[in-house]
Chains A and B, each alone.
Chain A
Amino acid sequence: MTESSPREENPCRPRHFRPDPCGPATPAEGPARQSLDQSHTRLLITAALFCLVFAVIGVRLVEVGLGGDDAHIARQEPSRGITTGRADIVDRNGVLLATTLETPSLFADPKEIADAQKAARALVQILPDLDEKEVVQKLGSGKSFVWLKRHLTPREEEAVNRLGLPGLQFMPEGKRVYPEGDLAAHVVGYTDTDGNGLAGIERGLDARLRKGGAPVQLSLDARVQYILRDETAKAVSEFNAIGGMGIVMDVRTGEILAMVSLPDFDPNDANTATPATTFNRATLGAYEMGSVFKIFTMAMALNDHVATLESSYDATNPIHIGRFTIHDDHAQRRWLTVPEIFEYSSNIGAAKVALDVGADRQRDFLGRLGLLSAPHFQLKEIATPLVPAVWHPVNVMTVGFGHGISVSPLQLATGVSAVANGGILHSATLLKQADDAQALGTRVLTQETSIEMRKLLRLVVEHGTGKLAEADGYLVGGKTGTAEKVSGHHYAEHALLSSFVGVFPVNDPRYLVLVSVDEPHGNKQTAGYATGGWIAAPAVRETIERMASIVGIPPVDEDSPEIRRSLMVTLPSPEGRKFAAN
């Protein structure tokens, strides 16, 4: 109904351009006509421009309205105003090991403080750990920003607010909190007030943690960690030791389920920790591990066919070489077969086996197991092993029973895992591996050697020096180690490092448990002995018994025929032993 006018003219022509029918007739020519034409053209151009702009706006309207990129907008919105701080650290089951909480930090603008003395007195009453003089000095400094106290508790914050003093303000700051306390202090580590990682995973994976986002999931299992820590601590206190360490490792993947170093500290209160407590013995300590090294000596001899399980060596007399004498702690004074050397932990036998293997092959084998160089690991606290500069025969012999070479317990556990798991070396890791991930490793010894080694490890627990590690039903196999600690240039007779490394179930090993106790003292219960078999083996047994049901290892009947057969070692009969002794 708007179109009341006739349609004789161009419908596209803008309506308001239509000459007024009541107006004067258009002049045919002359200056009037000219200027009219000119303005007409101008109007057309302007109209075209407007049309263009409106068209653009229209197109944009349709675009926004129909919303091709709505999803993009929606995706961006939620993140606005929500800061993501340092990433959390969790264990393999999601138990929180480290998190960042926002806490208020108190600062002051001294320019706004009317009476520094009075304000300081009031503050010190609420926050007793502040020094009044220092606060007065800060508040009177004339700056416009001074920190008074970082990370207040909610109660302190309320009390400060109640003072109602102008010039005091709060700023939310991220504070690193470790809910599990000292449980895995050395693994998790700690940060400084500004959130820089100073130790442990906090330091080793600092860059990743800073990025924020998803939590870093460790391979640790808080439950196993607690059990290992508990048992190691019991051994340390029962035998009056200066420290201890323990590792639980999944031999199939190299994942570390638990790692303990005692004495430890509470990372929530890391600035009161001493160097003695922050020292991670399990990774940063390099120790002569003693007889547990015989595992490697036997493995290399069997692997290179230098010896078989039937070979025997003369362990009748101590070996004198240079100024050293190698003797046995559990001396049998007779010829010993390879299994017996292992069972009784004969130093003489192991030295002779090592000598048969020879320096080159020994060094090569230990190198392949990663025992001669610092491992790649998520922690920066890593010891470089101390190895002989030149491998003289005497070095070959002492290394054969674990002296004259210092490695970290972590390296030892990695190497023993490879010997027990079928011969594949997996680098130790603190990060949880995907369940379906094919653990890649390098073959370092043959499957056959590994199976023979399992039998030997079982023999030690069933009949040898490691009887106290026998956990009913869990088929523990392992090796004891008692090393005299080096002090200066000689060995200290009564300063021992007593260890036990066990794997279970030994017919198809899943987990390795290593416990070492530093300078234990024997007591009545151990008949005065402070050896690995008396000190560390019971701790390993307890650990295995408590953790087995958690990690899902069902107990088996050790006496079932299949298991007997799978772990049988041909030992000389008692008569045979007598015969050999004669």
Chain B
Amino acid sequence: MIRPSTILWGCAVVAVGYAMFQMKYEVMQQEDRLARLNHDIASDREAVRVLNAEWNYLSQPARLDELAKRYLTLVPIGPKQLIDIAAIPLRVPEGTAGASAASSPAPARMADLKTSAER
């Protein structure tokens, strides 16, 4: 004679068993996915390395120099083309507002120094 509790436990065993195998297959799938991702990461990293190497190969200073000479009408900045920003006389506007700005020039950085001597 089968008691209700036995039926219940039986059902529970089946359910748990099903859930366990379900979980197991899910874990296996996830592991496959992980392996695939790891493989993808590895090959992406390798691709990044190759591209990085190629980028550095293509941007060799000698090559850039050559290309710049061939295609650009620019020449390197000479010392006469660099001047401290504080040395540039600022145009004082009509009003008084510009006066305070002119008296406290920005700190001179290389980018700021870049200006043409002719100006």
Q: Are A471 and B79 in contact (CB under 8 A)?
A: yes
> Which B residues are CB-close (under 8 A) to A181?
57, 60
Q: Is the interface of A mostly helix, strand, loop or mixed?
A: mixed
Query: Which of A93-101, A373-381, A424-432, A460-468 is the interface stretch?
Result: A93-101
Q: Are B52 and A554 in contact (CB under 8 A)?
A: no
**Which of chain A's residues has its CB closest to B50's CB?**
A101
Q: For residues 8 through 26 of chain B, which have their beta carbon under 8 Å from a beta carbon of chain A?
A: 8
Q: Are B79 and A81 in contact (CB under 8 A)?
A: no
Q: Interface range on chain A: under 10, 10 to 19, 20 to 34, or 35 or more?
A: 35 or more
Select B79's contact among A179, A180, A225, A545, beta carbons within 8 Å: A545
**Which of chain B's residues has its CB closest to A268's CB?**
B57
Q: Are A96 and B80 in contact (CB under 8 A)?
A: no
**Which of chain A's residues has its CB closest to B34's CB?**
A77
Q: Could you mark each residue 25-55 of chain B with 1 if its beta carbon is under 8 Å from any beta carbon of chain A, else 0?
A: 0000000001100110110011001101111
Q: Considering the chains assembled together, what is the distance between the CA atoms of A139 and B82 in angstroms?
A: 68
Q: Judge if A223 is at the interface, Cβ distance under 8 Å.
A: yes
> Which B residues are CB-close (under 8 A) to A80?
38
Q: Considering the chains assembled together, what is the distance between the CA atoms of A549 and B111 in angstroms?
A: 10
Q: Are B60 and A180 in contact (CB under 8 A)?
A: yes
**Which of chain B's residues has its CB closest to A545's CB?**
B79
Q: Considering the chains assembled together, what is the distance between the CA atoms of A474 and B78 in angstroms?
A: 11
Q: Are B38 and A472 in contact (CB under 8 A)?
A: no
Q: Are A179 and B53 in contact (CB under 8 A)?
A: yes
Q: For residues 75 through 118 of chain A, which have their beta carbon under 8 Å from a beta carbon of chain B?
A: 77-78, 80-83, 95-96, 99-102
**Which of chain A's residues has its CB closest to B113's CB?**
A554
Select A555's contact among B35, B42, B53, B79, beta carbons within 8 Å: B79
Q: Considering the chains assembled together, what is the distance between the CA atoms of A95 and B60 in angstroms?
A: 10
Q: Is the interface of B mostly helix, strand, loop or mixed?
A: helix
Q: Judge if A473 is at the interface, Cβ distance under 8 Å.
A: yes
Q: How far is the CB of A119 from chain B (nearest CB, A)?
A: 30
Q: Judge if A183 is at the interface, Cβ distance under 8 Å.
A: yes
Q: For residues 47 through 74 of chain B, which have their beta carbon under 8 Å from a beta carbon of chain A?
A: 49-50, 52-57, 60-62, 65
Q: Are A179 and B82 in contact (CB under 8 A)?
A: no
Q: How far is the CB of B60 from chain A (nearest CB, A)?
A: 6
Q: Considering the chains assembled together, what is the distance between the CA atoms of A546 and B78 in angstroms?
A: 8
Q: Considering the chains assembled together, what is the distance between the CA atoms of A23 and B52 in angstroms?
A: 84
Knowing A471-B79, A473-B79, A474-B79, the reply to whether A226 touches B61 (Cβ < 8 A) is yes
Where the two chains meet, the residues of A that have a C-beta atom closer than 8 Å to any C-beta of B are: 1-2, 15, 77-78, 80-83, 95-96, 99-102, 177, 179-181, 183, 222-223, 225-227, 230, 471-474, 545-546, 548-549, 552, 554-555
Smallest CB-CB A-B distances: 6 pairs = A226-B61, A473-B79, A179-B56, A555-B79, A179-B57, A96-B56
Where the two chains meet, the residues of B that have a C-beta atom closer than 8 Å to any C-beta of A are: 4-5, 8, 34-35, 38-39, 41-42, 45-46, 49-50, 52-57, 60-62, 65, 76-80, 82, 84, 108, 110, 113
Given contacts A82-B45, A83-B42, list 20 more A-B pairs with CB under 8 A.
A78-B38, A78-B41, A80-B38, A81-B35, A96-B56, A180-B57, A181-B57, A183-B60, A183-B61, A226-B62, A227-B61, A230-B62, A230-B65, A471-B79, A548-B79, A549-B77, A549-B82, A554-B82, A554-B84, A555-B80
